[in-house]
Every structure is written in C-alpha cells, then in structure tokens.
Amino acid sequence: MLTREPAVSPASRCQVCATKIVVAGPSEVVVKNAILRVDRASGQVAAKCPRCKTWVDVPLRYIG
C-alpha cells in the first residue's frame, strides 16, 4: 500500500530537466507517466523522469 507523506508541495519537478512529475490534489497524489522504485528498507518511493531518466523522490511511502 502506498501512503501520502504529510507535507506535500503542490508540484514536484525533476531537478535536472524541470519536468513535472508529481501533481498533488486535495486528497490525492498523481505521479505522471513514471516508473516507480521502492526502497524495501525505508519504504521511500522514487519515480523515474520520463524525459531525462533521472530518479526523483516523490512524497509517497510504501507500507507492506
């Protein structure tokens, strides 16, 4: 199960090419066109930028 982190900026962008990766709504987080990677130990989630292929941390945590 993926859960939303409590503090989410309105939009997360790739640090390299500035492509918008995460769009946060009032009750949802949308990760746009990206492959997700989960660190098993911490549950931290990263999304691969569809444009430049850089891994970007997203405000989600995997519990399970």
| Predicted TM-score of the model (pTM) | 0.71
The pLDDT, as a whole number, for residue 64 is 72
Greater confidence (64 vs 21) lies with 21
Instruction: Give the pLDDT confidence of 9-62 residue by residue, as tens digits.
Output: 546 889 999 998 888 778 887 888 889 999 988 888 899 999 999 998 888 888
Return the number of other C-beta atoms located less than 10 Å from residue 38's C-beta.
Answer: 15
Token couple for 36? 């997700």
Residue 9: what pLDDT?
52
Q: Distance (Å, rounded) from C-alpha 31 to C-alpha 6?
A: 16
**Domain spans of the chain?**
2-62
